[in-house]
């Protein structure tokens, strides 16, 4: 069943008719898949952006096991849900990581970790991302969301001093490791949407420019727009949408709140846990933070973005069972803003000779 067939079967609107609103299941990986589908359907979501960890989607099985793939599709259809994107952030992160340690053992697939040898993990993570492209194609999904990792992120403070040759080598390392992965994406007719995010090869405006240049702007590699990671960095995320309009392949509706009014709370987080009021910023339920959501949606209309929008719900200070449906209601109202069929001032030039 292709993505378009699945949409027909579930009765959900296609992105060209109305941008579907989905729920990213990455923060819900502890919830059984059937229960996840039931909750999203009852709340009124159009579909799910499936995370490739937990039990929501095993890309190894999805790429090879017809019965497993059918069970995923049947469950989505049972609850009237579509699927327009899948996400494999955790395994993609390991592809370019300079430091592979027990953090990754806790996040990557066991078949990627194996013995934990760093270069072995990187290479197996690359194979996992190729497998993800094949799984996406079989599921009928056009976009895979994820991270890339970075061999140079730990140099972000630029001290001790780091030579420009080291930074350039980091972008070459990214290109060398990801171009073979993107070759498989091209073969499968699937695109990768990198989430611009601290700790990745592209984490702000200029690193995104450098990343795209490193791979020759090949179409298989685009961006997942997520304003929450730009808010606390002080970036103009609406202008980012305009400047990279041809590369916006997916959209995460995720919010952040900046708290830097007392001169103590800094933007780097101070190694403090989420929701600690001493932090300079925090992720917060969609619609309750600092994101200029109406500006974002009006810009999406301007650039002609007609794909799904996915709520990535994160808020360490709020119950997710209350936050996820509330976020959906909030985003539905913004998603309803549609461009007019004629200019509002067209009546002034109607050719009327009335006096």
Domain ranges in the chain are 3-349
Superfamily of domain 3-349: Divalent-metal-dependent TIM barrel enzymes (3.20.20.150)
pLDDT string in tens for the chain (355-residue length): 333 343 343 334 333 337 999 999 999 999 999 999 999 999 999 999 999 999 999 999 999 999 999 999 999 999 999 999 999 999 999 999 999 999 999 999 999 999 999 999 999 999 999 999 999 999 999 999 999 999 999 999 999 999 999 999 999 999 999 999 999 999 999 999 999 999 999 999 999 999 999 999 999 999 999 999 999 999 999 999 999 999 999 999 999 999 998 899 999 999 999 999 999 999 999 999 999 999 999 999 999 999 999 999 999 999 999 999 999 999 999 999 988 877 777 767 755 554 4
> What whole-number distance in Å separates Cα of residue 159 and Cα of residue 260?
25
Give tens-digit pLDDT for 207-264: 999 999 999 999 999 999 999 999 999 999 999 999 999 999 999 999 999 999 889 9
What the block records as the tokens of 355 is 């006096």
39: number of CA atoms within 13 Å, CB side? 18
The predicted structure's pLDDT at residue 338: 86
CB 305: neighbour CB atoms within 10 A? 20
> What whole-number distance in Å separates Cα of residue 107 and Cα of residue 199?
15
Cβ atoms of residues 216 and 274 within 8 Å: no
CB-based burial of residue 215 (10 Å sphere; 0-12 exposed, 13-18 middle, 19+ buried)? middle
> What whole-number distance in Å separates Cα of residue 43 and Cα of residue 21?
11
Cβ atoms of residues 96 and 121 within 8 Å: no
CB 174: neighbour CB atoms within 10 A? 24
Cβ atoms of residues 155 and 199 within 8 Å: no
pTM of the model: 0.92
> What whole-number distance in Å separates Cα of residue 192 and Cα of residue 147?
10
Cβ atoms of residues 204 and 235 within 8 Å: yes
């Amino acid at each position: 069943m292709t993505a378009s067939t699945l949409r027909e079967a579930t009765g959900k609107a296609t992105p060209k008719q109305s941008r579907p609103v989905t729920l990213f299941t990455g923060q819900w990986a502890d919830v059984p898949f059937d229960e996840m589908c039931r909750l999203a359907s009852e709340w009124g979501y159009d579909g799910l952006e499936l995370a490739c960890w937990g039990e929501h989607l095993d890309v190894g099985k999805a790429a090879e096991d017809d019965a497993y793939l059918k069970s995923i599709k049947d469950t989505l259809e049972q609850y009237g849900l579509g699927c327009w994107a899948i996400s494999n952030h955790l395994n993609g992160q390991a592809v370019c990581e300079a430091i592979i340690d027990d953090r990754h053992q806790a996040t990557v697939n066991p078949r990627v970790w194996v013995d934990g040898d760093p270069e072995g993990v990187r290479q197996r993570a690359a194979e996992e991302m190729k497998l993800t492209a094949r799984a996406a194609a079989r599921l009928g999904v056009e976009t895979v969301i994820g991270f890339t990792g970075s061999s140079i992120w730990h140099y972000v403070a630029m001290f001790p001093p780091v030579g420009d040759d080291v930074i350039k080598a980091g972008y070459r390392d990214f290109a060398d490791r990801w171009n073979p992965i993107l070759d498989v994406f091209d073969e499968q007719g699937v695109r990768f949407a990198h989430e611009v995010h601290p700790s990745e090869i592209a984490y702000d405006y200029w690193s995104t420019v450098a990343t795209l240049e490193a791979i020759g702007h090949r179409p298989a590699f685009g961006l997942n727009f997520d304003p929450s990671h730009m808010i606390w960095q002080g970036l103009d995320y609406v202008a980012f949408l305009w400047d990279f309009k041809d590369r916006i392949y997916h959209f995460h509706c995720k919010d952040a709140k900046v708290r830097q009014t007392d001169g103590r709370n800094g933007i780097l987080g101070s190694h403090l846990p989420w929701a600690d009021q001493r932090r300079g910023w925090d992720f917060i339920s969609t619609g309750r933070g600092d994101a200029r959501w109406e500006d974002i949606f009006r810009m999406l209309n301007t650039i002609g973005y007609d794909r799904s929008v996915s709520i990535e719900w994160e808020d360490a200070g709020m119950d997710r069972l209350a936050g996820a449906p509330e976020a959906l209601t909030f985003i539905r109202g913004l998603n309803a803003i549609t461009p007019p069929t004629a200019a509002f001032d067209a009546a002034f030039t109607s050719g009327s000779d009335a006096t």
